[in-house]
Each structure stands twice: as structure tokens, then as C-alpha cells.
């Protein structure tokens, strides 16, 4: 019997002199080895995407992080810092895909940029520069640090005691997470329920209320060395189980 197929939408990024559709190995590995599903990288073709064809084979969708920001025009603002990277092709691919996946009850796990774009896809908005928002902590990584340090746990998040995340983490009240983002949730979209917050109040995880299946998003990076972090192992295993259940019922 085949394993569940999990769509992993790509970024458009420079690979040497050429543009390429890219997905970091760590995300693909977390789907394969953590969720135990078959990752399928989806090119960021925007409106040229055949969403029906993709959804017909998808048993899950995982949205990755990215250095690029969700275009602020998609939540009714102008881009405050045009020097920061954008990826309009990814926006035009992921936003419709997110809405379609939720409608069909296809399991969804969203990470960092994915967490932000899912909120925007459902009508929410972002802070474009968290570090400029009074009372907010610094959530960006130090880019000069070695990667292991950039992705090391840097602050705690408090989990909603009645939430899905707390349940799948065996009743944990708080966990330590890494933090590599300059943007963050401003207005949470209607229909999303907070699962975790940082000490400064920032929403760090949410679920889709009343979702037909697993639909969870986290601002941190569980995919980073996931096998060394028991919380990340449980998260990817739960996502994989939801994909297996979706596949069995389809």
C-alpha cells in the first residue's frame, strides 16, 4: 500500500545564476522521516497551477518557512520595507491551496512563513516588523551566528491547556522554541483559535476551529533537527497520522 502524499509548495529562489523552485531539505526530510509520508514538492506556478490535479493526489499539505515575506498587499497594506525579499509566485500558489485544502479537510501543517501565509489566506493580517511594535520581544535570529545557534531554542511559548498542541504534547503547559522571523500575527483570521503564545503575547501557534482534519500552524521551526526534539517528533508523527487517516477515508 502506498504512503500518504504530502504537498510541499516551493519557493522561487536564486540557485546560482538561475531562478529555481526550492524546498529546503530539512522540510522534505521532516515529512519523509518524521511524518513518514511521501513529500511532493509543488512548483510555485501561481495561477497556472492545476489545483484540482494536486488536491486529487494530496493526503496532506505542509507549508514551509522562507526568508521571503507574504506580500502586504494581500492584507490591505503597503510593503513597509521593499528591500526585504518577496515571493509573489509562492503567495499566488499557497494562498489558494490553503483555502482549498481546508475546504476539503486535507491535513495541513504550516511552519513560520507558512503560519503567516495561512493567517493571511484566511483573512488575517501581519505585523511587518515585529521589532518596531511596542512591547514585542526580538523574534529575529542573529544572522551572523552559526546555524545551530540560530535554530536553537530561544524562548518559551505557553500552550493553551485545552488545545490540540497541548494534547499531542502529552499535556505540556509550555515548551521552548526557536525563533527566526521578523513578521508575526497582527489580526488573527476569523475561525482560527490560538494554541500558543510567547511571553510578549505574540500568537505562536493556532489551529483552524472546527476543521475536518488536522490544521495546525506554528511560528517556530520544528523541522530543524526534528529527531533530536521529542516535541517535534510528536508533532510530525501526529501530522503523519492525520494524513494516513485522510488517505484511508478518501
Ligand X SMILES: N[C@@H](CCC(=O)NCCCC(=O)O)C(=O)O
Interface residues with ligand X (CB under 6 A)? 24, 64-69, 112-113, 180-183, 221
Q: Which of 37, 204, 223, 243 is catalytic?
A: 223
Cβ distance to ligand X smaller for residue 116 or 213: 116
Q: Which of 37, 112, 127, 195 is catalytic?
A: 112
Question: Alpha helix (H) ranges present in the chain?
Answer: 25-29, 51-57, 88-104, 113-121, 147-150, 164-168, 230-249
**Are residues 191 and 124 in contact, defined by beta-carbon separation less than 8 angstroms?**
no
Burial of 197 (0-12, 13-18, 19+ CB in 10 A): middle
Nearest to 181 by CA among 114, 125, 99, 228: 114
Distance (Å, whole) CA 143 – CA 192: 31
Cβ distance to ligand X smaller for residue 64 or 229: 64
Q: Which of 21, 117, 221, 243 is catalytic?
A: 221
- Minimum distance from residue 248 beta carbon to ligand X (Å): 31
- Minimum distance from residue 104 beta carbon to ligand X (Å): 25
Ramachandran quadrant class, 32 (left: phi over 0; alpha: psi -120 to 50; beta: rest): alpha
Cβ distance to ligand X smaller for residue 185 or 238: 185
- Is 37 annotated in the active site? no
- Minimum distance from residue 74 beta carbon to ligand X (Å): 14
- Is 112 annotated in the active site? yes
- Is 243 annotated in the active site? no
Catalytic residue annotation: 112, 221, 223
Amino acid at each position: 500500500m502506498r504512503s500518504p502524499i504530502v504537498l510541499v509548495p516551493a519557493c522561487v529562489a536564486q540557485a546560482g545564476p538561475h531562478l529555481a523552485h526550492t524546498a529546503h531539505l530539512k522540510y522534505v526530510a521532516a515529512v519523509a522521516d518524521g511524518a513518514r509520508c511521501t513529500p511532493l514538492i509543488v512548483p510555485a506556478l501561481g495561477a497556472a497551477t492545476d489545483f484540482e490535479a494536486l488536491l486529487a493526489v494530496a493526503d496532506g499539505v505542509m507549508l514551509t518557512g522562507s526568508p521571503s515575506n507574504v506580500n502586504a498587499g494581500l492584507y490591505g497594506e503597503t510593503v513597509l520595507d521593499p528591500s526585504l525579499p518577496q515571493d509573489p509566485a509562492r503567495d499566488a500558489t499557497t494562498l489558494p491551496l490553503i483555502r482549498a485544502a481546508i475546504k476539503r479537510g486535507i491535513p495541513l501543517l504550516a511552519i513560520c512563513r507558512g503560519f503567516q501565509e495561512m493567517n493571511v489566506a484566511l483573512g488575517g493580517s501581519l505585523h511587518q516588523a515585529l521589532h518596531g511594535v511596542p512591547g514585542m520581544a526580538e523574534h529575529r535570529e542573529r544572522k551572523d551566528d552559526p546555524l545551530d545557534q540560530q535554530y536553537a531554542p530561544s524562548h518559551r511559548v505557553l500552550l493553551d491547556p485545552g488545545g490540540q498542541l497541548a494534547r499531542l504534547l502529552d499535556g505540556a503547559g509550555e515548551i521552548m522554541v526557536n525563533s527566526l522571523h521578523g513578521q508575526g500575527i497582527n489580526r488573527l483570521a476569523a475561525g482560527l483559535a490560538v494554541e500558543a503564545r510567547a511571553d510578549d503575547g505574540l500568537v505562536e501557534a493556532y489551529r483552524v476551529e472546527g476543521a475536518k482534519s488536522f490544521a495546525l500552524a506554528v511560528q517556530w521551526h520544528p523541522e530543524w533537527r526534528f529527531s533530536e526534539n521529542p516535541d517535534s517528533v510528536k508533532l510530525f508523527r501526529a501530522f503523519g497520522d492525520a494524513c494516513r487517516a485522510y488517505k484511508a477515508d478518501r
